[in-house]
Amino acid sequence: MNIGCSSFSWQTIDGKHLLGRTYDYFGNLDSNSFVVIPRNYEFSTLIETKSMVKSEYVVTGMNINGLDTPFLVDGINEHGLMGALLNYPGFACYDTNDNYSVSVNPSFIVTYMLSTCKTLDEVEREAKAINFSSEKVFGNEIRVHFIFFDSTGEAIIVEPNEGGVTVHRNTIGVMTNSPNYEWHEQNIRNYLGQSPLGVKQDTICGKEFKAFGVWGLRFPGGYASTDRFIRVALTKNFSPKGNDELDGVTRMFNMFSTVYMAEGIVGLQTDKESDFEFTQSIDIMCSESLKYYFSLTTNRRISCIDLKKELNNTKIKYIEIPKDQDISFIN
């Protein structure tokens, strides 16, 4: 399972907190849906054996179908805690906690955190208490790391590494894929000379950096994780903030165009066929309104799930993704 993706957090002028991501994947969204998980919903944190827990909070997000437990790639809960899962190949390491409270399959981490935590402190506590299981998903290893954001304005990144789980606090709120977050943050120092005004910048996304002796490299244009991280960080840093939620969400959709993968650009060639990884959807959530916005490659209209309308649900609810193009005719 190879889920690429880019993600960043943002704040509007009137204080709305947004978390967005591209969902970059091979194939299509035929195996995906949206799901609403109610309170007191019992689910297993593992696939092969039963390890049952109950949800404490209502959650919605994008789900990969085919498992008894919802496999959320991103989502938001009723307290405005938001999270997303992104690919972390070559670095993710599991089964490093011998004294754990519960063992969780990596595909269920977003589901588990959003259904049992309401603050970033609780996410950090759980990340250090649980075991990230090496159990396979659909017969394959899933190597992932995670970003969480809420109305405090802080974004934290959770990475299951060889020496144990690392929780990065006070990050710049940007995440792509491998290597680890520390490497990406240090790499920013190579690009401090980049500015739309031609002026050297020492502060990126609210954090001060020191250059490696010179102004550094030019704006990277490739689709490697390292290139996308820099483009997202600099785009976030220089883009004018939205005035309110709708303006902010609209601007975020536009900002993600800097890392949007068109089909045919990033491919995988085998002896029998070729396949392409491309941006399947862009998903953006708001901590205050509890709204989940999305736009698909196959349906460019912006659609929305309003979690506030689902708070009294008592049963799990699956929502079909509107994949067909929806044109708004104006004459």
Catalytic residue set: 5
Judge whether 269 and 43 are in contact, CB under 8 Å.
Answer: no
Instruction: State which H helix or E strand residue 112 sits in.
Output: helix 109-116
**Using alpha carbons only, what angle is made at residue 250 by residues 247 and 251, rounded to the nearest 5 degrees?**
85
Residues near 257 by beta carbon (within 8 Å), at least 6 away in sequence: none
**Residue among 168, 144, 172 nearest 156 (CA):** 168
Tell me the one-letter amino acid at 23: Y
Backbone φ and ψ for 70, nearest 5 degrees, come out as -55, 130
- Residue 205's region, left for phi above 0, alpha for psi from -120 to 50, else beta, is left
